[in-house]
Each structure stands twice: as structure tokens, then as C-alpha cells.
């Protein structure tokens, strides 16, 4: 049973469709996080009723150092603002400051078959097999239930994410549908919102794997970080993997395709137009153009980041206000779910 959006639920503010998304405050963000998620959230704020979360509970699966968790939350809040998220248009909040996330997460765990969780690509790659699996935390397995709670608490219609999160959003839909079938209409069924370009930025050193925060930590040449200065961006792009051709010729290899995709995403061009524009251009020329495009978008973000990061009092006020606004919506959904379970 699925619910027609708008049937039983509080209408989104101003009748705009509601979006919810989040980023883990783990290590530094990279170009993939920006092009796959943050940039769209900011540029499309006027079209949606927006909830953007800093998912610190999720970060506990990978960051054990409490000081790092604390500082990463503030860094991410400053980055959200630096990328153009406007607290007047978007509710910006920290997951752990809204207790309903953990509460609904447990309820959803109780409605999720173990096999669904064990089949998730992310669990399989993080947990490995055999002895490794014995040691990995249970949170790595149940993480998708907490993510589903993040989304379902806000009756989100859309979840703007990069391509790597598609499977998690699909699972969230399956869990919500299962609860609705078993317990009556509790949740709105959300849709992933994944863009045509920039949704899967690949590693610069290995364009067959997606750009990821954890790989960037051990191999700096893997990723452009959002706070990399222009000369570091230039150096990393100049070393990015291409192929044996001297210039862009179709069909292009994975490394060149990645550079073209980055350029297309930043400039807002289609992939086809970008290929046409660079066909015959030397790899040196392509890399120069990609470096310039990246630095043009990152430099102003970095300047605004420094400004916001220096003002912790403002950051804390934004987050406290966000948690209060988020809590009102989340608590109403939690109550609906609890009643459906016979808990209240
Ligand atoms: P996270 O923190 O790994 O990534 C944040 C966002 O960045 C996108 N992304 C990418 N996009 C393009 N190319 C890449 N190489 C790339 N790497 C990451 C991700 O798709 C994501 O949109 N589980 C989520 C966080 C989360 C969440 C949620 C998201 C928790 N609760 C509720 C949406 C809704 C995660 O770990 O994202």
C-alpha cells in the first residue's frame, strides 16, 4: 500500500514539495559531495521545502574520536552555509539533536528483514567476509534503518543525493511500504532525486571507483577536497588518470569521461555538449579547463567557509533553531508511528 503524497500528512510549507537530505560529518568533504549533493540543494532551495541534516549519529560508525565528531559537525555546518544553504529557506540541523531519529530508527529495525540489510552493497564492502565481519559494528549493518528514519520523519517527497545513495533510498521505500502494509498508512513514500551529471564523481587516481572520503584520507591524490587551495587543485587534476590518447577522442576512457563529467556538472552543460566542445582538445587543455572550472566554484565557497567557521556562536544558533523546527515535524511523525505500533 503506498500513500498518495499529501493525503494524510501535514502539507509542506508553501505547498512546495519537501526534500530531506544529509551528509556525514566525517573527514573533509570532496568534490563528489559538492557536485552530487550540496550544490543542488543550495541552487534549488527556492523550489522545495527543505530539511538538511548533519548526520552525526551515522558518523559514529566510522569516527571514534569524540573531538573529531564535535569539530566536524561545526565544519559541516559552516560548509552548508558557505555553499549557500540559507537558514531562512532551509531547516539546517544536527541529527542527534532530534531524538526522534534514533527512536524511529529502532522501530524500523524491528520491521526490516535481516536479509535486506545484509544485501546492501555498502554493508558488504565495509563488512567484508569471514573474521572481518565478526568485528564490524552492528551499526554498519543497521545504518540504513537510521537513514530511513531520517527521511521518513519529515514526510519527504524527494531525497536529493548522489548515485551511491540510490540503494539506500530504495531500501527506505521498501521499509516504509512494509510498515504501511503491516500497520496502516504511516509513512509517505519518498523518491530519490539524482541528477544527470555530477551524481557519480570518480576517483582521480582510479576512475573505476567512486570518489570517497575514506579513500581520500589515505590517498590524497584520489580526491579534490572542498577546502583544497587552487594550486593543490591544479596539481591533483594535472596528475589525474587519463589514457594513452593524446587528446579527447570518442569513445573516451573512464578517466577522461570523469573529467568531462566534472566540467559538465560545474558548468551546467549536458554531457553531449561537453564532449562536442572538447573533442580534439589535448588532455593538457582539458585539465586546464577543468582546473579553472573547479577553482572558480570552490574559491568563493572557501572564502565564505572561513567567515562562517570563525563564528561558532552563529553556527550554534543556526543549529539550535534548526533542531527546534525539525523536532516539531519529526515528533509528529514519530507519534503517528508509535501509535500505529500500539506504543502510545
Ligand atoms: P555521504 O556523507 O557519504 O555523502 C553525502 C552526499 O554526497 C554524495 N556523494 C557523491 N556524489 C557524487 N559523486 C561522489 N563520488 C559522491 N560521494 C558522495 C552522496 O550520494 C550524498 O548525497 N548515507 C548518507 C548520508 C545520509 C542521508 C540520510 C542522505 C544519512 N541520512 C538521509 C540522504 C537522506 C551518506 O553517507 O552520504
Taking the model in full, what pTM does it have? Answer: 0.94
Return the minimum-mean-pLDDT range out of 7-21, 242-256, 320-334: 7-21
pLDDT of residue 131: 81
Ligand 1 atom 36, closest CA: 24
pLDDT tens figures, 164-182: 999 999 999 999 999 999 9
Model confidence at 2, pLDDT cuts 50, 70, 90, reads very low
**Can you tell me the distance from the alpha carbon of 126 to that of 328, in angstroms, rounded to the nearest whole number?**
35
Best mutation site among 36, 50, 72, 194 for ligand 1 pocket (most ligand atoms within 8 Å of CB): 36
Residue 12: inside a domain: no
pLDDT of residue 127: 87
Residues 229 and 276 in one domain: yes
**Total domain count for the chain?**
2
Residue 10: inside a domain: no
Q: Is residue 166 within 6 Å of ligand 1 at its C-beta? A: no
Q: Is residue 169 within 6 Å of ligand 1 at its C-beta? A: no
Q: Is residue 91 within 6 Å of ligand 1 at its C-beta? A: no
Residue 2: inside a domain: no
Best mutation site among 93, 155, 164 for ligand 1 pocket (most ligand atoms within 8 Å of CB): 164
pLDDT of residue 5: 38
pLDDT of residue 28: 87
Task: Look up the domain containing 335 and give its range.
Answer: 18-199+312-341
- Say which residue the cell 543549529 belongs to: 319
Give catalytic status of residue 287 as yes or no.
no
Closest CA to 72 of 277, 217, 268: 217
Mean pLDDT of 315-319: 98
Q: What are phi and psi of 30, to 5 degrees?
A: -120, 180
Residue 239: inside a domain: yes
Model confidence at 114, pLDDT cuts 50, 70, 90, reads very high
Residue 161: inside a domain: yes
Task: Provide DSSP, 277-293.
Answer: HHTT-BHHHHHHHHHHH
Q: Which residues contact residue 323 at a Cβ distance below 8 angstroms, ignoring those fewer than 6 apart?
A: 93, 94, 97, 98
Residue 76: inside a domain: yes
Amino acid at each position: 500500500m503506498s500513500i498518495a503524497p499529501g493525503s494524510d500528512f501535514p502539507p509542506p510549507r508553501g505547498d512546495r514539495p519537501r526534500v530531506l537530505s544529509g551528509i556525514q560529518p566525517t573527514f573533509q568533504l570532496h568534490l563528489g559531495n559538492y557536485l552530487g549533493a550540496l550544490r543542488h540543494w543550495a541552487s534549488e532551495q527556492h523550489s522545495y521545502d527543505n530539511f538538511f541534516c548533519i548526520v552525526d549519529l551515522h558518523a559514529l560508525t566510522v569516527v571514534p574520536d569524540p573531538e573529531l565528531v564535535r569539530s566536524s559537525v561545526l565544519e559541516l555546518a559552516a560548509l552548508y552555509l558557505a555553499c549557500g544553504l540559507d537558514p531562512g529557506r532551509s531547516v539546517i540541523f544536527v541529527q542527534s539533536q532530534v531524538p526522534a531519529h534514533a527512536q524511529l530508527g529502532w522501530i524500523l529495525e524491528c520491521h526490516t528483514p535481516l536479509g535486506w540489510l545484509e544485501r546492501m552493497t555498502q554493508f558488504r564492502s565495509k563488512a567484508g567476509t569471514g573474521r572481518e565481519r565478526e568485528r564490524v559494528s552492528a551499526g554498519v549493518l543497521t545504518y540504513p534503518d537510521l537513514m530511513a528514519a531520517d527521511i521518513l520523519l519529515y514526510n519527504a517527497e524527494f531525497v536529493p543525493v548522489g548515485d551511491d545513495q540510490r540503494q539506500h533510498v530504495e531500501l527506505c521505500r521498501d521499509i516504509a511500504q512494509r510498515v504501511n502494509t503491516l500497520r496502516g498508512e504511516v509513512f509517505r513514500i519518498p523518491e530519490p532525486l539524482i541528477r544527470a551529471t555530477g551524481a557519480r564523481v570518480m576517483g582521480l587516481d582510479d576512475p573505476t571507483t567512486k570518489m570517497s572520503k575514506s579513500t581520500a584520507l589515505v590517498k590524497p591524490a584520489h580526491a579534490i577536497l572542498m577546502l583544497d587551495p587552487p594550486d593543490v587543485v591544479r596539481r591533483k587534476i594535472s596528475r589525474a588518470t587519463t589514457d594513452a590518447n593524446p587528446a579527447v577522442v570518442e569513445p573516451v576512457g573512464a578517466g577522461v569521461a570523469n573529467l568531462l563529467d566534472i566540467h559538465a556538472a560545474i558548468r551546467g552543460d549536458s554531457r553531449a555538449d561537453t564532449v562536442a566542445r572538447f573533442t580534439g582538445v589535448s588532455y593538457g587543455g582539458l585539465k586546464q579547463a577543468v582546473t579553472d572550472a573547479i577553482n572558480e566554484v570552490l574559491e568563493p565557497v572557501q572564502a565564505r567557509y572561513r567567515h562562517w567557521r570563525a563564528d561558532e556562536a552563529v553556527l550554534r544558533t543556526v543549529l539550535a533553531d534548526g533542531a527546534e523546527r525539525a523536532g516539531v515535524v519529526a515528533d509528529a511523525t514519530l507519534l503517528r508511528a508509535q501509535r500505529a505500533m500500539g506504543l502510545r
